Amino acid sequence: MKKISLFLLTLFFVLSLKANEFTNIFVEQRDDGSGIVDITYDFSAATGTLYNMSLEVTFDGVDFHPIAPVGLSGDIVRVAPGTGHSIVWNGMLTHPDTYSEGAVIRMTANLAAGFMNDIDGNTYATAVIGNQEWMAENLRVTRYRDGDQILTDLNEEKWLAINEGAFTQLPYEEMPGFNSNEEVREAFGALYNGWTLVDERELCPFGWRVPAREDMLQLIDYIINDYTYSNFTEETVGQALKSCRGTDTPLGGDCIVSEQPAWAYDITNYPEVYGLDSFGFAALPTSFAGVDGQVYPPAGADGFWWLAPPDEGEGWGGNSSYFYSLDFSTNAIMPFTYNPFGTEEAGFQFGYSVRCIRDVD
């Protein structure tokens, strides 16, 4: 995985960088006593690639420590090569006991993302997290990999009765600000039943797959234990994956939005619960379809994503349903859930979102 590093000294602007990827760097502490540092820079790299910026700081010139994402804003996640990038660091927030003007900042650009296409011609952003590349948007394809149409537009009776793949979506008539089903599907993705996951015609594009439970466990382990700049735990790992878009978030700025999709964060009752989107995963609440195919408007509360069923003989058998969810009231990833109805097929009738994945070197 490509990494590009530089060093910034807030008083003297001493830096060491590779291949001149960072230029025109300017670092300045505000003179209002707030401990807020403004960083601007230009960044050059291969076109068509995006990068996540990680920042570390040392106050003794020897030991560097990660700067927590909560103290950073600006061009941090999914940064494209270009000019005029800016980052704001609240040094007094992240290091209230040790912050000083002599801080040395080290910034690293980590290859973060690219793009992929499905058979319908839709283009999706992707996020590289460890040795995995995830879709950074929900799948919205209407055909299998071989070109066959996926069933849709089913009434409740037909949705309940089928034992083959189908998808549905939020109806645009119930979504203020949207004028067509296509607009809604582009913003929220489609909701697929479990049968699409096991269809031999394949749901994800060539080279990609529906993530298994092991893939999600690997992602969580990387964020908590392997990512150099992380201080996430099992209780907060979901914060790293959630989009910062919300109706109420202490991050402010462009993260505060009124239009959907967005999280309905409640910082009055849950002051520590909001998304940081530390890796560009950009998870948003898209709700789900019940066993009768009825779609529940998201209202910013939660999102559900399929995981591939286990192999025959594992768990509850080949038709077991696994998924993971994120919720507005917690920073954790909600537990993987077996079929809630105790029969193999019933769980497959739910409609959840899908994020495809592939392995990277």
User: What pLDDT is attached to residue 154?
Assistant: 95
Residues 158 and 219 in one domain: yes
Q: What is the pLDDT of residues 283-293, one digit of tens each?
A: 999 889 988 99
Cis bond upstream, residue 261 (ω within 30):
yes
User: What pLDDT is attached to residue 17?
Assistant: 34
User: What pLDDT is attached to residue 57?
Assistant: 87
Q: Select from 110, 139, 167 the last residue of a domain.
A: 110
Residues 77 and 142 in one domain: no
Residues 71 and 52 in one domain: yes
Residues 98 and 156 in one domain: no
| Residue 91, domain CATH | 2.60.40
User: What pLDDT is attached to residue 79?
Assistant: 84
Residues 91 and 204 in one domain: no
pTM: 0.74
Number of structural domains in the chain: 2
Residues 199 and 174 in one domain: yes
Q: Which domain holds residue 69?
A: 3-110
The answer to whether 190 touches 169, Cβ cutoff 8 Å, is yes
Residues 161 and 104 in one domain: no
- Per-position DSSP letters for 236-269, written without gaps between them: THHHHHB-S-BSS-TT-GGGB-SSSS-B---TTT
Residues 86 and 145 in one domain: no
Q: What is the pLDDT of residues 55-78, one digit of tens each?
A: 888 888 788 887 877 788 888 877
Residues 156 and 51 in one domain: no
Which residue in this structure is represented by tokens 């309905």? 264
The answer to whether 320 touches 309, Cβ cutoff 8 Å, is yes
Residues 100 and 187 in one domain: no
Residues 75 and 177 in one domain: no
- Residues of the chain with pLDDT below 50 are 1-7, 9-20, 313-319, 340-342
User: What pLDDT is attached to residue 115?
Assistant: 84
The answer to whether 298 touches 215, Cβ cutoff 8 Å, is no
User: What pLDDT is attached to residue 113?
Assistant: 67
Residues 161 and 222 in one domain: yes
The answer to whether 42 touches 85, Cβ cutoff 8 Å, is yes
User: What pLDDT is attached to residue 281?
Assistant: 92
Residue 298 CA, chain-centre distance (Å), reads 17
Q: Select from 93, 110, 127 the last residue of a domain.
A: 110
Q: Select from 110, 139, 155 the last residue of a domain.
A: 110
